[in-house]
């Protein structure tokens, strides 16, 4: 769907805006009610879906949370822990080697 995601090693699960969930045809009645939390300790209601992420020619299982109020696409540890990733901070580059 998009190659514009934020790899977030602090996020337990992956999250995308609700508008992206709609374009994927996800039905809220088939999701699991849950909470999404932030670093400030706040939380918000969400729907979680079991999904697959397609990354560099491979599929990875993903716990995908619909973010109703946000606009960021977060790739969380549910996927990142299955990959070999190099973060090059000074250049802002992320290299993925599944």
Q: Is residue 34 part of a domain?
A: yes
Q: Is residue 68 part of a domain?
A: yes
What's this model's pTM, rounded to 2 decimal places?
0.80
- Model pLDDT, residue 59: 92
Burial of residue 94, with CB atoms counted within 10 A of its CB: 0-12 exposed, 13-18 middle, 19 or more buried = middle
CB 54 within 8 A of CB 64: no
Residue 38 predicted with pLDDT over 90: no
Residues 64, 61: Cα–Cα separation, whole Å: 9
- Model pLDDT, residue 3: 67
Q: Is residue 78 part of a domain?
A: yes
Average pLDDT, the chain: 87
Confidence of residue 98 (pLDDT cuts 50, 70, 90): low
**Residues 50-92: pLDDT tens digits?**
999 888 788 999 999 998 888 889 999 999 998 888 889 899 8
Task: Output the CA–CA distances (angstroms, integers) from residue 63 to 46, 53, 60, 77, in the order listed.
Answer: 12, 10, 10, 10
Q: Is residue 25 part of a domain?
A: yes
Looking up residue 81, the CATH number of its domain turns out to be 2.40.70.10
Look at the chain and report how many structural domains it folds into: 1
Can you give the residue range of the structural domain that contains 70?
A: 6-97
Q: Is residue 44 part of a domain?
A: yes
Q: Is residue 74 part of a domain?
A: yes
Q: Is residue 18 part of a domain?
A: yes
Q: Is residue 26 part of a domain?
A: yes
């Amino acid at each position: 769907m998009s190659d514009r995601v934020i790899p977030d090693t602090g996020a337990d699960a992956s999250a995308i805006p609700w508008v992206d969930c709609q374009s994927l045809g996800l039905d809220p009645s088939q999701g699991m009610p849950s909470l999404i939390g932030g670093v400030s300790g706040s939380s918000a209601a969400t729907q979680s879906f079991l999904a697959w992420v397609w990354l560099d020619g491979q599929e990875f299982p993903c716990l995908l949370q619909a973010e109703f109020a946000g606009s960021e696409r977060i790739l969380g540890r549910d996927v990142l822990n299955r990959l070999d990733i190099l973060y090059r901070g000074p250049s802002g580059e992320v290299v993925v080697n599944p």
